[in-house]
Amino acid sequence: MNDEQDADREPTQPIDQGTPAEPVPPVEPEPIEPDPFVEPDPTAQWAPPAAGVHRLPATPVAPGTPAVPVGQPTPPSGPEATAILPTDALAPSLMPPVPPGPPPADLSVHRPAPGAAGSGTVWRWPLVALLALVVGLGGGFLGALGYDKIADDTDGPGFVDGGLADVDLEDSAPLAAPDSVAAVAKAVLPSTVQIIAEYDGQEAGATGSGWVMDGNGHIVTNNHVVADAAKDKGPIVVVDNERNRYDATVVGRSPVYDLAILYVKDFEDLVPAKLGYSAKLQVGEPVVAIGSPLSLPSTVTSGIVSYLHRPVTTGSSADDSSFIDAVQTDAAINPGNSGGPLVNQKGEVIGVNSAIATAGGGSVDKEAGNIGVGFAIPVEQVRVTADQILKTGKSQYPVIGAKVKTGGIPTGEGAELDEIIAKSPAQEAGLRKGDLITHVNGSRVVDGIALIVAIRTYQPGQTIEFTVERGSDEQKIEVTLDGETETG
């Protein structure tokens, strides 16, 4: 700006300052007592409390009381101090999120210089609380104004004077997905029964499970559920899902496959189950087990297929030994589940729950409970055995006319033949004692039990191929299976 421009301006007038204000005397900061829990630091420079900060009176602390770190809860004391909180109860991830807003006020704590008089810790919480209260009141006032504005405009479309009382609500629960456990249970429970088999005069001699096989009153269960009652000619009762009781008789039993077929005369109210195919199962596929574990009828558990074609043997004697090409599952199976259905996600029976592994190493133990290793007889075997029993009252199983070693520690190399019976299919095919069978129709065999199970998945009259190691030679030998009829 030049001098000519300055000359053109009007002269300024001084502003009346009024009466000068009286000087304000300085405010002396209140003395603050040193923190008894912190060692004095002679080199530290301490600042006085900020203006407007209120100090709360301190609670007396007994001498010798340990310090509690800032930001951590005070340890419990007194008669209830024995309770221990879980460590994750204080985890930062469980704290509610902080809503967005202005940066927080400085809440740092200033400690007095060593030797200063006074007591207590300096807090800034009251100021923050006051500000929050003011903001809250303001928000409430504005909210009330907004509500009044909205409440005055209730004549537009969509308003209902009676609220929810004047509208149509669908209160029913959503339908279960077609492949859910709930949907499967709803479909299969009407076809599942509890079985009570009396023997030796014991009214509850044996209890198990079963399922309705057809519309003609036939029930499938395990042989070991009804074997003693059948031998003792004791009564057998079938109880359906509605707790209706039916007298049942044994049509036939198969100790070899641990299956039995019962007949109920008054079957009009029984609902047949749908049959599936275990051959279509995959490891990891969901399955559902239904039965009466521990005499608790209509119990539903779920899991997955853990393994397929698991060779399993059950029974305590040669008369009731069973060899099963089992479906292994981790669905909970307990004593009393025996004979009940194992079903897929479509509600189709794919197996008969028959055995459980125990921590002691056995396959079946009446006193043991579920450890997540259960076994079911494939439904394909049920079809074959049930067909034979319905026709003749008896079941057949295939044999080759040889004995195999099953004891000792399995080597996993195959099944060694221990004896060849004269004029048997094994002898006619050229098998010899000491031959090591490693495969049956291309499927690996690891021990004697696996060989028996593999053979019994076929039917009498069928021809199967053995892979045989004899010394250093390996050869293929075909054997036509013979059959034996069970006496059970």
Asked whether the beta carbons of 449 and 313 are under 8 A apart, the reply is: yes
Give DSSP secondary structure letters for 128-159: HHHHHHHHHHHHHHHHHHHHHHHHT---STT-
Give dist(CA 216, CA 214) in Å, integer.
Answer: 5
Identify whether 218 is a catalytic site residue: no
Q: Is 367 exposed, middle or buried (0-12, 13-18, 19+ CB in 10 A)?
A: exposed
Q: What is the DSSP letter of 102?
A: S
Identify whether 338 is a catalytic site residue: yes
Q: From start to end of 187-298, where are the E strands?
A: 192-199, 202-212, 218-221, 236-239, 245-254, 259-264, 274-275, 286-291
The active-site residue out of 302, 322, 338, 354 is 338
Q: Which residues pair with 314 in a beta bridge?
A: 322
Sign of the CA dihedral running 367, 295, 227, 193:
negative
Give dist(CA 266, CA 249) in Å, integer.
Answer: 12
The active-site residue out of 209, 224, 240, 298 is 224
Identify whether 93 is a catalytic site residue: no
Please name the helix (run of DSSP H) or strand (run of DSSP E) that holds residue 402, with its range, or none.
strand 402-404
The active-site residue out of 209, 240, 258, 302 is 258
Query: Residue 473: what are its φ and ψ, rounded to 5°?
Result: -100, 150
Give dist(CA 111, CA 414) in Å, integer.
Answer: 82
The residues annotated with a catalytic role in the active site are 224, 258, 338
